[in-house]
Chain A
Amino acid sequence: MRVVVADDVMLTREGIARLLDEAGIDVVAQAEDAEGLLREVRLKQPDVVIVDIRMPPTHTDEGLVATQRIRADHPTIGVLVLSQYVEPSYAMRLLEEHPERVGYLLKQRVFDVAVLVDALRRINDGETVIDPTIVSRLVGRRRRHDPLAELTAREREVLGLVAEGLSNGAIASRLFVTERTVEAHVKQVFLKLGLAVNPESHRRVLAVLAYLRSDPSD
């Protein structure tokens, strides 16, 4: 897998590159700002890009803006956005326009090279990756009349994994059950929560996140 890393802080950029190198992933270029990243993407045509959300010049959401450009211009190239913020708003904004081949991970998550490599592979396979911290915060959100209370423990587990962007197959292997069982669970969850979106579509991650964030009791 060929990867481009973009982060304005050299230490972080190098650190990630070395970790990936150790894991046998080919880092073909590094960039320190969004403009450099877009240039490297055009030149090197990588499989996946890792980009920091906060980069020069304004240090706000340059990473998200660059992601939208890359996803629009090069639909086959996946993007993993790294952030130090547990911000569902950012994650959802990322999914709104291009619900596949994107990921949002907290920066310290990539300490665990296995997690990082797994995320890159999933994105390369066309899936979505949402940081578990964000998902658990949304699932654990206090609600007045909690519709999640109607779900079984296993169904809630499945809902969380769906929100993290896992495919049915990936969920099945994570929970040591068959894919058909997972499919049944997912259908049941969507039914109980009244989610209208097709449980098989790429849009299901965003739909679940939005649902978790809303006040369904109203």
Chain B
Amino acid sequence: MLWADSLQLAVRAITAQRLRSFLTLLGIAVGIAAVILLTSIGEGIHRFVLGEFTQFGTNVISAMPGKTKTGGSPSGLPSSARPLSLEDARSLERLPHVVAVTPNVRGNAEVEGNGRTRRTLIYGVNAKLPVIFRSTVQSGQFLPADDEGSARAFVVLGSKVKNELFGSENPLGQRLRIGGLHFRVIGVMAPKGQFLGIDLDDTAFIPAARAQELFNREGVDEINVAAEEGVPSSIVASAIKERLVARHGHEDFTIITQEEMLKTLSNILNVLTMAVGALGGISLLVGGVGIVTIMTIAVSERTGEIGLLVALGAPRRTILALFLGEAVALSALGGFLGLLLGFGLAQVIHFAVPALPVHTPLSFVLLAELVAISIGLAAGVLPARRAARLDPVEALRTE
């Protein structure tokens, strides 16, 4: 029997029972739609979270004092570990594939200026910070590349701090007091928004040496390194490790590459997406049971027809193929309908709730359709085998 004919006969059988077939394939459609919708939301969240992290660049490598095996970030409090120093940071600048290096000294301090006071997060860094974290200056300029020891007392304000202290006035050239030290404003950063609930604009940047002075600190909290685009972070990370071990005598620091962090995060989010997809899969299973039911009924109803097909010279495998084909056609159509439904719903959610990220990758779509077809195949096997094994004499006797 020709393929096209088998397919045509299967489709004829499906269209002969429109309502019944529609309801059956609706079961599969709802299952596929649930899987597509849930995984779309999962994937959307995945992309959103990774996007949040990669806005700082994907090639950042950080070194922190102290050997931590659990990878937490330091609290900003001085620790008893041997600190990393400004010299350590400078020594990394000439390593291969390193684009920029900045020390990072953090602390909280009161900023007074224009007759107002605000407590804010102070970063002690150098001129390279915008390169590493992809920040842009809105007005004025970032910290100049002064010699670290004698860096001038300049400050660059985050947009939030600037607004709170100066409103719409021009802050450039104004004097500020940060925790008792005097600074002159030379620039304002472009707003960066929030990152996991932290306001990235409620900050002020001062030279690292000034921050050490301000917070009475020997070392730095962190050294941030930007590696060349396209070079694996692990290569650069091991070069950094080698250099710092050579300087410190042993490994008393921790290196975290963003690449690694993103990979771990991505894995976690993938598992999450698969988990919600599996939840949707339960309704797909129910849809599959619906196909088994309807195909079993179809075999009972068409017993006489099966007998006829045998009498007309159809081999068993043709009868098997006809009923299997019918089940697969039902589930494939249902799957297709489910794809449209799921994708449509995802888009509606995207428009109605723009805050909820939704993304439907093509691979999910193809996978879902494949799953639908395999479910049809699995669901059709039992009824189709029953059909193929009928005794033709008995089958022809039923009306």
Query: Is B a genuine binding partner of A?
Result: no
